[in-house]
Structure 1
Amino acid sequence: MDQLLHHLNHLGFTEMESKIMVELARQGSASGYEVAKRLGVSRSNVYSTLQRLSQRGFLRCSAGEPAKYSVLKPEEMTRMISGQMRASLDYVQSSMPQHEPEKPVFYNIEGDKNVFDNLSRELADAKHEIVVDIWREEAELLQDHLKRAEDRGVRLLWSCDGGEGMLDQPAPWPGLPLYGNGSGRKFSIVVDRRWCMLGMRGESCATQAVVTEHPVMTGLLLNHFAQELVLYELEQDMGEELESRYGRRFGQLSARYWSVSAGGDQG
């Protein structure tokens, strides 16, 4: 009995409504006076509750004096409740104001699986362009994802260090050295000029990445990528002249502005 009342309360019926419906289900039908007497409560409370339940469609009221009330069969009652709840749920779902939860401006991802799962989802959703600056080891892991994106018409721009270029294209000139003690391979990916990942991976360091849609970071990565490709094109066109003036791979030129000491400090 208590368990039944509990579930009726959970479905939105008050304690008085629940007790009256259970009593009517037990007795079959009864007048308001009879229900009040059996429950030991005031007739005014019972009459108002009977009227409310009847208006909601859960009770049937017979003609005559005194009026007799009976509750719906359990299967009829539950079907009615289910329909009303379904209608309410559908209305809430369609009418509730929606606001996209704010993503953090920058967030970190750690671990090979987490990084590549996150990256593969973005590559699969790419619609216009993917810019990739990556090492050969990571390029092999992403090659299928990039090929599928290219096959569906996404523009693919890439730079691959540490070996020949993938997809039968030449590898651009590698970028300038980065500061820090980490011995991992740095990589960056920009998708549709709105989402980017900047990370590091290697045998001697944990795989980790920073993800953001901040336009400043996206712009910086795109500018860096463009500069690398411009320098690569210059090297292809003016290789001997550039090498004679600045050294192979622009080592002499870059050394004027960048140097990495054993401790990672700028020289």
Structure 2
Amino acid sequence: MDNVELLMSFGLTRQEARVYILLLGEGALSGYEAAKRLGISRSNAYAALAGLVDKGAAYVAEEQAVQYHAVSIKEFCSNKLHYMEELSETLERQIPKQKQEDAKYLTIRGRRHIEDKFRNMLKEVKERVYLSVSASVADLFREELAELTAQNKKVVLLTDEQYILDGAIIYYAGKRSFASGHTGCEETVDGQIRLITDSSYALTGELQDEETSACLYSANPNLVKLLKDALANEIKLIEIEGKSKDIDKEG
């Protein structure tokens, strides 16, 4: 995503984002100057500047000629996030409570949406979490996982490389295709994920690029049990292989 698209995620229109970037780079400008620099009509420039002022991204300096000053990107984003947090709390109080999740199977597409779901599932953990992911994927959620272990919640991780996470139970599956549960593969499947939280919710699928990523999410007890059994079998196999290696060393 380029800077314009990133700013649009904070509520600016494309035109407002372009004018805002110009103000950040040039300093104070009048509407006429902004229009001339960007090659847009004065009416569009003034509309964009008014929008920036209204959204807290610019201030007006009324001196000999009206000029617009950009609010720093850090201040603008921080203010926006604070405001959205306040709105979120208000909505949580006012919106009717969500009905209890049923056992439907839901498809989640797009890498960002899958990461969001994964992260939110971790934040909702009450007692325990089991996950089978590559070390690189685990790193995406290190902060949330560390928070769980700090709260003495059980975290069991199966991964493809040596991984350090204080308080977690970690199993190293090596070059096994740990995420699919099969053995004998020469390479791990880096983007495959399995996540079970509180023995009640499951997320499984592939985390690849934005277009091809897709996962299945459900509170269906059959899917949860299926994934739990697969993970348990994988752990047993890792433990057996570990004991075999110990015996070989002793012999």
Calculate the TM-score normalised by the size of structure 2. Answer: 0.50
Rounded to whole Å, the distance in 2 between the matches of 1:130 and 1:216 is: 17
| Structure 1 segments unaligned to the other structure (5+ residues) | 1-92, 243-267
Distance (whole Å) between structure 1 residues aligned to residue 224 and residue 105 of structure 2: 12
Counterpart amino acid of 1:216?
Answer: N
TM-score, reference length from structure 1: 0.47
Q: Deviations over 1:127-161 (max 9, x none)?
A: 11000101122111011111111111210111012
- Residue matched to 1:220: 226
Please identify runs of 4+ aligned residues in structure 1 that moved more than 6 A. none
Across the two proteins, how many residue pairs are aligned to each other? 144
1:153 maps to 152
Give the distance between the partners of 2:112 and 2:209, measured in 1 at CA. Answer: 15
Q: Secondary structure at the match of 1:132?
A: strand
Q: Does 1:197 align with 2:194?
A: no
CA contact (8 A) 2:108 2:215 kept: yes
Residue in 2 that maps onto 1:165: 163
1:101 Cα deviation after fit: 6.5
Letter in 2 for 1:164: Q
Matched letter for residue 163 of structure 2? G
Question: 1:187 maps to which residue?
Answer: 193
1:126 Cα shift?
0.3
Contact 1:184 / 1:205 at 8 angstroms: preserved in 2?
Answer: no
By how many angstroms is 1:210 displaced? Answer: 0.5
Distance 1:110 1:147, change over 3 A: same
Change (3 A) 1:152 1:221: same
Please tell me the root mean square deviation across aligned C-alpha atoms, in Å. Answer: 3.3
Give the alignment of 1:29-44 within 5 angstroms.
none
Rounded Cα–Cα distance in structure 1 between residues aligned with 2:100 and 2:241: 47
Aligned with 2:204: secondary structure? strand
Aligned equivalents of 1:239, 1:213: Cα separation in 2: 38
Asked if the contact 2:129/2:156 (under 8 Å) is kept, the reply is yes
Name the CA shift for 1:213/1:119 in 2 (closer, same or farther; >3 Å): same
Distance 1:112 1:203 in 2: 6
Structure 2: tracts of 5 or more residues without a match? 1-93
Q: Output the amino acid matched with 1:233.
A: E
Q: Is the 8 A contact 1:185 1:200 kept in 2?
A: yes
1:210 aligns with 2:216: yes
